[in-house]
Structure 1
Amino acid sequence: MLLTARAELCPTIATIAPEEPARFNPECLEELCLKIGEVRAEAEVALALHRISEVLPTLDATCRRSGREFVVALEHLCKDADLIGMATLARVARDVLETYIAGNEVGFSATMARLDRVGERSIHAVWDLEDLSG
């Protein structure tokens, strides 16, 4: 009887696993190709992807080490993401920057976690797109 009463007072805790699709804007790549040519655009995409994949895992340590360096890293991340059409990644990185500058610790923690999730999905989305195009 006592176990039944406790079970009623303690509802089951649900575990949620946030899933968010990476939004990719292929028009940005088309514009880049028209502006600088397909070969140079392909090199720019590869370079931007490389920089993004290197900076994402280091953001936590960068933040602890230097606030200014963290802000610069986020600004570069936004620029690279915008350049190659990673719309969601750019928006989330801006949200991280906004919460950091505002000193919103809860919002900052939440947006940093979201940046980790979106970052990986975004990188894979572009790699998958490149695989499809040959």
Structure 2
Amino acid sequence: MAKSKGGVVVTQVSRLRCKERMSLDTTRLSVLYVELGQVDAERVICATVEDLAVQLAALEEAAKSRQRAKMRCAIVKVIDLSEHVGLVSMVRTARDLSECIATGDAVAQAAVMARLGRIAERSLTEVWDIGGLSS
């Protein structure tokens, strides 16, 4: 906000820190390890994380070009992939984004897209670390 004081414009800048709560269903990851074994579970988790990154990039690109149909398609894939590895926060936020698109609320859509980006960054890192994929 800019204010004028004696001919001098004073600008006040506020820094907002967004701390997203992230939920991860570690039971889902455990089930993958039990069902598939360590090597195959890590392969599936790694592929899922990579696919999620691709879909999130596609979602962002579709949002920039205002292609709602492509956004909805990418969101469905993000939800499916996130559920597969237990990324509860990603699922919930992607569903919120889908609702914003359906209602045509551009302001809410932009806010939820930003939230999804923050959650995605933390969630993908978390599942990568829990899955022992960083080595």
1:47: how far off?
1.0
Q: Structure 2 vs 1, CA of residues 45 and 27 (structure 1 numbering), >3 Å: closer, same or farther?
A: same
**Aligned equivalents of 2:80, 2:22: Cα separation in 1:** 17
Structure 2 partner of 1:115: 116
Q: Structure 2 vs 1, CA of residues 131 and 35 (structure 1 numbering), >3 Å: closer, same or farther?
A: closer
1:111: how far off?
0.3
Structure 2 partner of 1:93: 94
Question: What letter corresponds to residue 49 of structure 2 in structure 1?
Answer: L
1:25-40 to structure 2, matched below 5 A, reads: 25-40=25-40
1:49-60 to structure 2, matched below 5 A, reads: 49-60=49-60
Q: Structure 2 vs 1, CA of residues 17 and 39 (structure 1 numbering), >3 Å: closer, same or farther?
A: same
Deviations 1:32-60 (A, max 9, x none): 23344443322221111001112223322
Structure 2 partner of 1:105: 106
Structure with the largest fraction of strand = 2
Aligned residue pairs total: 130
Q: Does 1:73 align with 2:74?
A: yes
The gaps in structure 2 that reach 5 residues or longer are: none
**What root-mean-square deviation, in Å, do the aligned CA atoms of Structure 1 and Structure 2 show?**
2.7
**Aligned equivalents of 1:32, 1:13: Cα separation in 2:** 47
**Aligned equivalents of 2:99, 2:56: Cα separation in 1:** 17
Please say if residues 89 and 115 of structure 1, whose CA atoms lie closer than 8 Å, have aligned partners that are also in contact.
yes
> Relative to structure 2, which stretch is displaced further, 122-131 or 64-73?
64-73
1:133: how far off?
9.4
Structure with the largest fraction of helix = 1
User: Could you tell me the percent identity over the aligned residues?
Assistant: 25
If the length of structure 2 is used for normalisation, what is the TM-score?
0.80
If the length of structure 1 is used for normalisation, what is the TM-score?
0.80
Structure 1 partner of 2:126: 125
Structure 2 partner of 1:43: 43
